[in-house]
Amino acid sequence: MDSYDIRFWDIKMTGNGTAARYRVRWAAGGREHCKSFKARPLADGFLTELKDAVRGRRPFDARTGLPEAEVTEDEAVMDRMGPKPCTHARIADDGGRKRASNGVCAGQRGVTRAERAACKTVGSA
């Protein structure tokens, strides 16, 4: 559901010293969202991008809180289809050079836990 009802709060520093983080908080379609950053300039830049999207009259996705153009294609596909199955075949006689531990395909680095759980490895010996 798209929303043009967007509210912003000031950037707030949480923690202190080296563990300090800067939290950007906003609401889209009545749902509050927040994102934290290690540095103040990163938080300022993200907030500026959100405000630019409002000025450009781009609709925000109420679920993610991000402007429509910033919702990645993977998030949209995951919404419609659920987790995608693994398409990487695991070769049993590769000498162990390309096999990852715990039965995870070597080509699957950076996938979510749900995608890993849905993965069906092929050719494991």
DSSP string, 39-77: SHHHHHHHHHHHHHHHHTTPPEETTT-SBGGGS-HHHHH
Q: pTM of the entire structure?
A: 0.54
Query: Using one digit for the tens of pLDDT, what is the confidence trace for 26-61?
Result: 999 889 999 999 999 999 999 999 999 999 989 998
Residues 23 and 70 in one domain: yes
Find the domain containing 59 and state its range: 2-81
- The verdict on 41 and 56 lying in the same domain is yes
Residue 91 has pLDDT above 50, yes or no: no
> Which one has a higher pLDDT value, 60 or 123?
60
One domain for residues 76 and 19? yes
On whether both 72 and 98 belong to a single domain, the answer is no
Residue 34 CA neighbour count, 13 Å, CB half: 13
- In a shared domain, residues 35 and 62: yes
Instruction: Give residue 36's Cα distance to chain centre.
Output: 13
